[in-house]
Structure 1
């Protein structure tokens, strides 16, 4: 389906349910898609960080996208992560995504070997020219070690290379300045800015962001839909109250002893454990070499779900 211009609303970055043996669990992924759409999600982003795309082989990536597109059935746009180290590999993923029915692509800057701003811009331009689908930049310097600077983003917005930005930089000040610059150039009506920082969604929306891509939205999509609705209606006190409730629920990403896992394992492990307790997916398995949330942490996750009104 055609991507809205600009894309707005709540766009959960879908977790990838796996079986205990590490295969993609198509039944659970379909169940998760229905859970998210039933809560009112405006689009879905598969094969992102929460989807553990970096840990999946190419066949698993294709399976995830095929199952998700079929489950969505054209009800909302499906954004496909085509994240990889080089332009050539990103283009390969992008061609597969187009063939499988994705409505838009999401790509980071190249990584492993750093690129300067001109090279990063060239990367996005080659991807957009190579596959005729809307392209959204994913700014996640904690993972790719490149911060997408405002000058590059503005140039790529102006020439139509990029349809939007998913900002997971955690730099709310830089995001605010980018939004001001986009409005000053009249680009905010076509270029979508989506925050990936699920704890400051109300602030980002107040600053002018178009929507949110919240990892925690896998667990409580309805909460983010309410938050977005309050913000769009100017009910900022209600939006803040919903944000506070979600901030408390976010503690499930810290249920695991930090000494036992890396920074990336704990959030996804928490999301999957919560989804299993909610009966949405069948297993809390994570992609190797990550390990799932241990049994000893499940009580904490359950308590947080009860406190949030989800159990």
Structure 2
């Protein structure tokens, strides 16, 4: 894996959808420009923020094709190939990676209960199937039956050359710290370790993480680019910026008018904020997600105005006057 791949701020890109539920490529291009214009170091497609689990194969192909064409080599493009089992993940890899991916990202298997032996076999078989394309393991226990990928297994897979990096979205920051300590102890300096936390991003960089993969970065990419710069430099200004971004992350905790699950609420809030900023045309999430209503959008707009990037208050006010349900 190249020295720059798997470092810096890598945004797990939202998948904008049109009123018919299909990929809105015009909005996707505007979102990519929004990210690139703010200096991000890479984009990650078809992760949790990209709603991969709700998209058809054709939609996944559309996302990757449009992104690779528009990014045109300016930053690395990481592509999610996660699926319920190894053979299905390999099918996704064979479908999507030839479209121009610089790296593949996969979770542990999900739905069926698995343990370390099965998870290790899963990643080894994927790596064998994809050849020279770097593979990153995606640690995200809430999405895979609560099963964490044990740190010793991740380190073994790195030592074997199976994985080139880890995107750590574990709610337990101890997992990230143990991974960083194990990397150092075993001399695995080539292993890239990325934090998926929006609220502990500065701490992760100070602890030695190579980069950040924050879903909130779709809304405020410049904030996370600056946060990474400040944290790497040991600048105490990182703490104030982290506090602002943590407050902005409060958009995922609004009390929606209609009962909905956490995915609908969080991704709906990210998309609502991007819509209010004029980046995407619709804040629709993939079925069966429940959509935010006007009162919910107003709550998102209030948080965005108070804690968003410079100009967010004026931009969200203009957007609120011009968009409907």
Shift of 1:259: 6.3
Shift of 1:122: 1.0
Rounded to whole Å, the distance in 1 between the matches of 2:61 and 2:255 is 31
- Runs of 5+ unmatched residues, structure 2: 314-325
Partner residue in 2 for 1:196: 196
Conservation of the 8 A alpha-carbon contact between 1:24 and 1:64? yes
Q: For the structure 1 residues 212 and 10, does the alpha-carbon distance in structure 2 shift closer, same or farther, using more than 3 Å as the test?
A: same
Partner residue in 1 for 2:322: none
What count of residue pairs does the alignment treat as equivalent? 308
Partner residue in 2 for 1:181: 182
1:154 paired with 2:182, answer no
Shift of 1:5: 5.4
Partner residue in 1 for 2:171: 170
Rounded to whole Å, the distance in 1 between the matches of 2:26 and 2:12 is 18
Partner residue in 2 for 1:220: 220
Query: 1:118 aligns to what SS in structure 2?
Result: helix
Partner residue in 1 for 2:94: 95
Query: 2:280 aligns to what SS in structure 1?
Result: coil
Partner residue in 1 for 2:141: 141
Conservation of the 8 A alpha-carbon contact between 1:3 and 1:134? no
Conservation of the 8 A alpha-carbon contact between 1:6 and 1:163? no
Conservation of the 8 A alpha-carbon contact between 2:45 and 2:80? yes
Shift of 1:255: 2.4
Rounded to whole Å, the distance in 1 between the matches of 2:112 and 2:216 is 30
Shift of 1:292: 2.1
Partner residue in 2 for 1:59: 58
Shift of 1:3: 4.2
Shift of 1:275: 0.5
Partner residue in 1 for 2:241: 242
CA RMSD across the alignment: 1.3
Conservation of the 8 A alpha-carbon contact between 2:68 and 2:101? yes
Partner residue in 2 for 1:292: 291
Query: 2:113 aligns to what SS in structure 1?
Result: coil
TM-score when normalising by structure 2: 0.92
Q: Runs in 1 of length 4+ with deviation above 6 angstroms?
A: none
Shift of 1:6: 6.0
TM-score when normalising by structure 1: 0.96
Deviates more, 1:218-227 or 1:138-147: 138-147
- Runs of 5+ unmatched residues, structure 1: none
What are the Cα deviations for residues 124-143 of structure 1, in whole angstroms up to 9, with x where unaligned? 01111101210000011101
Rounded to whole Å, the distance in 1 between the matches of 2:73 and 2:291 is 32
Conservation of the 8 A alpha-carbon contact between 2:257 and 2:296? no
Rounded to whole Å, the distance in 1 between the matches of 2:211 and 2:282 is 30
Rounded to whole Å, the distance in 1 between the matches of 2:151 and 2:287 is 35
Conservation of the 8 A alpha-carbon contact between 1:3 and 1:77? no
Shift of 1:35: 0.5
Rounded to whole Å, the distance in 1 between the matches of 2:187 and 2:120 is 21
Shift of 1:177: 1.5
Report matched runs for 1:47-86 at 5 Å. 47-86=46-85
Q: For the structure 1 residues 59 and 9, does the alpha-carbon distance in structure 2 shift closer, same or farther, using more than 3 Å as the test?
A: same
Rounded to whole Å, the distance in 1 between the matches of 2:162 and 2:240 is 37
Partner residue in 1 for 2:231: 231
Q: For the structure 1 residues 158 and 66, does the alpha-carbon distance in structure 2 shift closer, same or farther, using more than 3 Å as the test?
A: same
Q: For the structure 1 residues 301 and 226, does the alpha-carbon distance in structure 2 shift closer, same or farther, using more than 3 Å as the test?
A: same
Rounded to whole Å, the distance in 1 between the matches of 2:19 and 2:258 is 24
